[in-house]
């Protein structure tokens, strides 16, 4: 049985990790930390875990965490980068759900997050944990940076087109919308029900922290620099991301439906919908799944790709468990075969 440690288990990604791992056939959470909730039972904070988790939150302790086979960081940015070096030196393997190790350039990271990176020497080593692209590298990694939620949907949507060189990589557009859980559990006025309900708005239009991650990942796929116009929006729902992606085709005769189906035919968590069928956030709620639809409206030269995920599952904790499975040689789908919740 795989022994799991979780640093920062009180937020939405932390409880989602616990929910998924509670029914994982080969893993058990042995350590979960929170300075703010130290001594409190996990199922007191999250009653949905009653009967599945009897642990108490504890102070982060390197010796206890290193005794685990894998350590997840479900923390805000700037936490992991201060503790991960000590854990790696002690022999731990780490999956970081925060943004601390997603960008390879420390100067770029600092420009977007407003502080110096505490462990820049680890940035070149960290493997970006998008399994559909880096499965072999993930398997041998000791530090995996789990992708962000928006970047997961955007990259999976553009991936087949960029690999095939079918679009202009200098003019990519991503219009994405997320439920309020993407902002985390901390109380904020803008995320109150009375503020977010019955409304739809853009934010971060001038620049969002996920943009450099998106451009870095897509640039790796394309083999050259890309330019992305990324506009995120807030949806008046709890879970879900819908990304509508636009690109100009270099070859309007290409069979894009066949391209997408062939690229993802062996991917257990990417579902390409039939031609003319478009994805909805409700069909992936609670599931570690990305559903994709592709179209070329009016047969012109602009391709439209629609990609949906649950931001807390395939966009965060589910993808993290998927990475764990790959790192530890477990079946990749272990603990992740939940079907989307309807209605």
CA 317/CA 18 separation, integer angstroms: 9
Strand partners, 6: 32, 72
What are the start-end ranges of the H helices in the chain? 12-22, 42-45, 62-66, 80-89, 106-113, 131-139, 149-163, 193-196, 210-222, 256-264, 318-327
Candidate list 53, 68, 146, 149, residue with the active-site label: 149
User: Under 8 Å CB-to-CB from 259, ≥6 apart: which residues?
Assistant: 160, 161, 164, 166
Tokens of 305: 């790709």
Angstrom distance (rounded) from CA 127 to CA 164: 23
| Strand locations in the chain (E) | 2-7, 27-33, 70-73, 94-96, 127-128, 143-145, 172-178, 201-202, 228-234, 241-248, 270-272, 290-295, 302-309
Instruction: Give the span between the Cα atoms of 21 and 24, in whole angstroms.
Output: 5
Sign of CA dihedral 113, 146, 78, 8: positive
Distance from CA of residue 70 to its chain's centroid?
18
Any idea which residue has 């990609």 for tokens? Answer: 307
Q: Is 146 designated active site? A: no
Q: Which residues are catalytically annotated?
A: 149
């Amino acid at each position: 049985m795989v022994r799991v440690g979780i640093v920062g288990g009180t937020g939405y990604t932390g409880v989602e990790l616990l929910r998924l791992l509670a029914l994982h056939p080969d893993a058990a959470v042995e350590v979960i930390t929170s300075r703010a909730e130290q001594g409190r039972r996990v199922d007191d904070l999250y009653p949905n875990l009653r009967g599945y988790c009897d642990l108490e939150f504890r102070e982060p302790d390197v010796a206890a965490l290193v005794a685990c086979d894998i350590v997840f960081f479900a923390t805000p940015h700037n936490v992991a980068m201060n503790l991960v070096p000590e854990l790696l030196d002690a022999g731990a393997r780490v999956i970081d759900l925060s943004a601390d190790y997603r960008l390879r350039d420390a100067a770029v990271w600092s420009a977007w997050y407003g502080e110096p990176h505490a462990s820049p020497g680890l940035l070149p080593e960290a493997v970006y944990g998008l399994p559909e692209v880096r499965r072999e590298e993930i398997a041998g990694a000791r530090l995996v940076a789990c992708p962000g939620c928006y970047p997961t949907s955007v990259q999976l949507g553009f991936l087949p087109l960029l690999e095939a060189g079918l679009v202009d990589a200098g003019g990519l557009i991503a219009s994405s919308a997320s439920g309020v859980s993407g902002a985390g559990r901390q109380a904020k006025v803008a995320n109150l029900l009375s503020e977010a309900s019955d409304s739809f708005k853009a934010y971060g239009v001038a620049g969002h922290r996920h943009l450099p991650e998106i451009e870095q990942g897509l640039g790796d796929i394309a083999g050259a620099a890309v330019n992305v116009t990324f506009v995120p929006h807030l949806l008046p729902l709890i879970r879900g991301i819908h990304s509508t992606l636009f690109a100009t085709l270099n070859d309007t005769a290409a069979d894009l439906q066949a391209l997408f189906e062939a690229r993802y035919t062996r991917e257990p968590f990417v579902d390409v919908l039939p031609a003319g069928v478009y994805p909805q956030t409700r069909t992936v709620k609670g599931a570690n799944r990305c559903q994709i639809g592709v179209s070329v409206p009016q047969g012109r030269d602009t391709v439209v790709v629609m990609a949906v995920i649950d931001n807390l599952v395939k966009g965060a904790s589910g993808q993290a468990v998927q990475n764990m499975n790959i790192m530890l040689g477990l079946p990749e789908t272990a603990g992740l075969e939940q079907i989307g919740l309807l209605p």
